[in-house]
Every structure is written in structure tokens, then in C-alpha cells.
A and B are shown apart, each in its own frame.
Chain A
Amino acid sequence: MTRLELRNMRKNFGALEVLAGISLHVEEGEFVSILGPSGAGKSTLFQLLTGAIRGEGEMRFDGARFAFMPQRDALMPWRRVIDNATLGLEVQGLKRRAARERVAPLFAEFGLAGFERAWPAELSGGMRQRAALLRTVVQQCDMLLLDEPFGALDALTRAAMQRWLETMWRNHRWTALLITHDVREAVLLSDRIYVLSARPARVVREVAVPLPRPRTKSAALAREAAAIEAGILDILLGAAEPISQPSDGENR
């Protein structure tokens, strides 16, 4: 069953053409990644999906709402970790008590046990991301939208978090759309990958990743994954060149 289907989504910010017709689909229980250079328009695509901005194109979503994790963790510094985690449920109308009871058992699984009553400022970067992820998945929406959940982490923490997310996904089978510019992350986590061009973004390739999970187990798997990674990198670098217009140094 198709959860989400986009046809020819376009978006301009004034004269700036950001999305030049994006078409993609995500099936039920599928983990799909969007891979693209910085400034391509990936976050803009999520803004279109969540309705924060309007664009042209056709979108069909079989569900009520996305659970959206923004690029920066967006934890509210004035709420304790547990109250950040319950935010989505509270907005859905659940009483604070009930929401806390629903969320509390998940803290251990997210590596946050004992930090329920901490302030976000007291968490490490990896913990913050896990808290943000917890806040996202407890909403029990029909689909997860994750915008570079590990982009701000150091390499070691990021690798650990990727493996952790893979385990979590194997247990829960969320339907998920992940934005990343980390090729390895995309190959490790996804069933399929959409590779975007630089701005204005269009899909240059759709790559299936038919590897069994868990993908970190054997050396043979790692080699296959590396081959796919190399292929994607070629596409990305090859696609970047002819289009690269007056660069305005967008590495944020």
C-alpha cells in the first residue's frame, strides 16, 4: 500500500527555484531516504509536506498527519525531557498525566532512562537527538519525517545512532522518510534512496538497497553496502557538476 506519493512537486522562493519537480513514493512500512547536497531543497520539501508552506504539484498521503522531526532538534529548553517527549500527545489532546504514562516506558529503549526530569540543556548531543526522536515516534502518526536527525553529531556518535536507529526500525517498522546528506547513513538505513541534484532539486536517481538487515553484521554485507555507496557518490558528484551555478557557499 502506498503511504505517500508526490508528483512533480515544485517550489520557488521568489526568483529562486528550489524544487524543480520532485516525484517520489513511500510504501507502507518502508524506510526511504532522500539524499542530496546541502541547500538542494530537502528541508523545503518537508515544509511542503507538513503544510508550513505551499507549492505546486500533487501530493497524496494516506494518513492523517506526519510525525515531523525538524533539522535542529527543536527541543523546548523550558520543558523537561519527559514533557518534551509528550508534546505531540498533549497537542493531540491527551492529558499531561496520561501522556507521561504513555511515554515513560520508552525512555529505556531510547537510552534516556533516568533523564526524564532533566532539562534539555543537560543532555549530550546524541541524547538530545534521541529525545527528539522519541517525541516524534510517540505521536503514533502514520509516517515519520526525519530531517537530518544526526547531521549535527560527531562521527562516532552518529555511527552509534545510525545503528541504534536501524535496530529500532527493525523492531517497529515505521514508515519513514529520512533526509540526509550522509551516503553511508542512507545505505545503512533505507530500503530505497532518492538522490537529488543540487538546487533546483530534481530526482536524479532512485536507488534500491536490497540488502538484508541488520546491515552491520557481516563483512560481505559491508562490502556490498560500500559498492552501493560508491555508486551513489558517483551520481552525486557527477550530477553536481553540470548544474553547479554561481556557488554561494551554502555549507551551513
Chain B
Amino acid sequence: MAVISTVAKIFPAAVAFALLLLIWELCARLGGIAPTVLPAPSRVLAQAWENRAALADNTLPTMRATLAGFACSLVAAFILSALVDFFAPLRRALFPLLIASQTLPLVAIAPLVVLWFGFGLLPKILLVALVTFFPMMVALVEGYAATAQEISQMLAAMGAGRRRIFWLARSPSALPYFFAGLRISITYAVVGAIFAEYAGAAKGLGIYMLSAKNNFRPDLVLAAVAVSSALTLTLFGLAVLAQRLAMPWENAKSDRAGRYGDKPSGEGRP
């Protein structure tokens, strides 16, 4: 059941994607364009397979930088958003700075960060965090504020303090917002890491793209692009999965009909 509906949902996108590749393939082959200018998808695929060892070797550092940066960003977003929720003036102090941080052009800032922090993991983590932090932070802060007033009021009447209300009501209320922010920022994460590597790294997809371009190998550039897209898509899928797991009541809402016709069993989360 679930598999069929998933396939049905993905189908239009898959067809569109396949068509695009087909047109591209035809243009590249019939148009007489040199493979050093526009390689056909089939050639990209073949070259990717041939160079799979090098690609994998360069994917790993990018993945590491992405995940480490994203994890830092996640923790920072949670801590800062909670602080902002407790101390309202902090919000007015921080938000202008954060918004300004989003206006920095990555092309300009990436080489600087590498200049300051070297070619190691740190500048990559920082750049990934820079591009992923803001959407999550904003989503969390808005999510806390979206807590139903009657729920906080009821908790207060029960004798719960600020911190209790934050854990019992405000943070779970923010979950849907948080996941919306997470889905946005996770699509920036890989790109952020690649930018950082582009500006300077020993290994990584970014540096791989750069050297492939310098060697007039657009096919390998595109192969690396395909890998980075696949990475982003995987991360996005994981985010969706995490949301499903973290918010089981959302699924219950959609299949309410029929599930409680008979007695519910005792399975599930404690």
C-alpha cells in the first residue's frame, strides 16, 4: 500500500527527469557538440563509473564536512533559539546580526574563512553552519511562539514554570516548524561544504570539481555534481524520515479513519 502510493507520488518527477536526460542526450549526440563542452549523460555516467574510486575518495571528506557542520549548526540553533525564547531582548540583539550573516556572498566569504582557519575541517564546518543555521533558528523561534495559548495557560494553572512549559509545550509545538526549516537548510548543506572546498582543501568534491574543470573534463565535473545532488537528496529523504519518526501523531491524523474501528493494541512508543 504505502509503497504503491510512494511510487505514484514520485512517478511524475521521475518522468520529467528522464525526459530531461533524454533531450540532453539527444542534443549532445545529434547536435555535434564536443564532449569537452557538453558531454552526454551516458558519457558522464560511464566516466563516473571509471573514476569511481577517485569520486568516492573525494565524496567522503565532503560528507564528513557536511554532517559535522550540520550537526554543529543544529545544536547551535537549538541552544540559541531556546536562549532567545527565554530572554526576549536577546532576540532583538541577535536577529539583525543573523540576517546580516545571510547577506554575505559565499564566494567572497569562503576564501576568507579558509584563509583564517586553514585547509582543515574547521572552515568547512563553519561555512556549512553559516548557510544552514539561519533557517533552523528562525523556524525554531517561530515554532515556540506558535504554542497554543490555552496550553501554556493551562500548564501555568497546573503550576508549571517557564522551563517546564518550554519542555512540555513550546518545544514540541515547534517540531513541525523545525522540520520545515530543517528541510530547507539541509538542501544548502552540501553546497556549503563544496563551496568551502572550492576555496581550498586537500580533498573533497569541491576540489575535485575544480581540478576536473581545469583539466577540461566537464564530464567529471558533472559526475561530481551528480554525486553532490544525490547526497543532498539522501539527506533530504533522511530529514523527511526523521520527521515521520519524531512526529508519529501526524501520521495518525491522516489515517484516522479505520484505525480505531476495533480496539487499539498496546504497541508503539512508551
- 9 additional A-B pairs beyond A65-B157, A74-B151, beta carbons within 8 Å, are A52-B153, A68-B153, A72-B150, A78-B247, A91-B158, A114-B264, A117-B264, A119-B253, A122-B260
Asked if A78 meets B249 with Cβ closer than 8 Å, knowing A50-B156, A114-B264, the reply is yes
Report yes or no: B172 in contact with A78, Cβ–Cβ below 8 A: yes
Which residues of the partner chain A approach B158 to less than 8 Å between Cβ atoms? 65, 68, 87-88, 91-92, 139
CB-CB under 8 A from A92, the residues of chain B are: 158-159
Give every chain B residue within 8 A of A52 (Cβ-Cβ).
Answer: 153, 156-157
16 A–B contacts from the bound complex (CB under 8 Å): A52-B156, A52-B157, A65-B158, A65-B159, A68-B153, A74-B151, A76-B168, A76-B169, A78-B249, A88-B158, A91-B158, A91-B164, A118-B252, A120-B249, A121-B249, A121-B253
B155 to chain A, nearest CB (A): 7
Which residue of B is nearest A120, CB measured?
B249
Report if B83 contacts A (CB, 8 A): no
A81 to chain B, nearest CB (A): 10
Q: Which of A119-175 contact B (CB under 8 A)?
A: 119-122, 139
Query: Within B138-192, which residues are at the interface with A (CB < 8 Å)?
Result: 148, 150-151, 153-160, 164, 168-169, 172, 175
Smallest distance from the beta carbon of A124 to chain B beta carbons, Å? 10
Kindly identify, within residues 59 to 103 of chain A, every residue whose CB is under 8 Å from any CB belonging to chain B: 65-66, 68-72, 74, 76-78, 80, 87-88, 91-92
In the assembled complex, B256 has its CB within 8 A of some CB on chain A:
yes
Closest-CB distance, A140 to chain B (whole angstroms): 12
User: Inside 8 A of B151's CB, which chain A residues have their CB?
Assistant: 70, 74, 76
Q: Confirm or deny: A51 has a beta carbon within 8 angstroms of a beta carbon on chain B.
A: yes
* A111–B78 CA distance with the chains assembled, in angstroms: 40
Q: Which residues of B contact A115 (CB under 8 A)?
A: 260, 264
- Chain A residues whose C-beta falls within 8 Å of the C-beta of B160 in the assembled complex: 91
A47 within 8 A of B: yes
B249 and A119: CB pair below 8 A? yes
B268–chain A nearest beta-carbon distance, Å: 6
The answer to whether B266 has its CB under 8 Å from any CB of chain A is yes
Chain B contact-residue range equals 20 to 34
Please measure, in the bound complex, the distance between the C-alpha atom of A71 and the C-alpha atom of B153, giving whole angstroms.
Answer: 11
Task: Convert B227-270 into 0s and 1s, putting 1 for each residue whose CB lies closer than 8 angstroms to a CB of A.
Answer: 00000000000000000000111001100100110011010100
Contacts of B168 in A (CB 8 A): 76, 87, 91
Q: A87-B168, A119-B249, A119-B253 are in contact. Are A68 and B260 (CB under 8 A)?
A: no
Report whether A121 and B256 are in contact in the complex, using a CB–CB cutoff of 8 Å: yes
Query: Which residue on chain B has the smallest CB distance to residue A93?
Result: B159
How far apart are B245's CB and chain A's nearest CB, in angstroms?
13
- Which of A47, A115, A117 has the most CB atoms of chain B within a 10 A radius of its CB? A117
Q: Which residues of B contact A68 (CB under 8 A)?
A: 153-154, 157-158
Q: Are B155 and A91 in contact, CB atoms less than 8 angstroms apart?
A: yes
**A50-B153 contact, Cβ under 8 Å, with A74-B148, A87-B158, A87-B168:** yes
Hey, which chain B residues are within 8 Å of A69, CB to CB? 154
Given contacts A91-B160, A114-B263, contact A70 B154 (CB under 8 A): yes
Q: In chain B, what residue has the closest Cβ to A136?
A: B154
Q: How far is the CA of A154 from the CA of B160 in the complex (A)?
A: 33
| Cβ A74 vs Cβ B154 within 8 A | yes
Instruction: Identify A50's interface contact among B148, B157, B252, B253, CB under 8 A.
Output: B157
B266 touches A76 (CB 8 A): no
CB nearest neighbor in A for B269: A80
* CB nearest neighbor in A for B252: A119
> Closest chain A residue to B248 by CB distance?
A119
Q: Contact check, A122 vs B159: say whether CB atoms are below 8 A apart.
A: no
A91 to B252, CA, bound (A): 26
A118 touches B154 (CB 8 A): no
Contact assessment for A66 and B252 in the assembled complex, using a CB-CB cutoff below 8 Å:
no
Check B156 against A78 for contact (C-beta < 8 Å).
no
Residue of A nearest to B171 (CB): A78
Which residues of B lie under 8 Å from residue A50 when comparing CB positions? 153, 156-157
Identity of the chain A residue whose Cβ is nearest the Cβ of B153 in the assembled complex = A52
Residues of A within 8 A of B268 (CB): 80, 117
Measured in the bound complex, the distance between the Cα atoms of B249 and A115 in whole Å is 14
Q: Which single residue of chain B is at the shortest CB-CB distance from A47?
A: B153
CA distance A51 to B156 in the complex (A): 8
Q: Complex formed: what's the CA distance from A65 to B154 in Å? A: 12
| Residues on B with beta carbons closer than 8 Å to the beta carbon of A87 | 155, 158, 168
* B175 interface neighbour in A71, A78, A114, Cβ under 8 Å: A78
CA distance A194 to B247 in the complex (A): 44
Q: Which residues of A contact B169 (CB under 8 A)?
A: 76
Ranked nearest first, the 6 interchain pairs of A and B with the lowest CB-CB distance are: A70-B150, A50-B157, A68-B157, A119-B252, A119-B249, A121-B253
**Residues of chain A within 8 A of B247, CB atoms compared:** 78
Q: How far is the CA of A200 from the CA of B208 in the complex (A)?
A: 73
Least Cβ–Cβ distance between B34 and chain A, in angstroms: 58
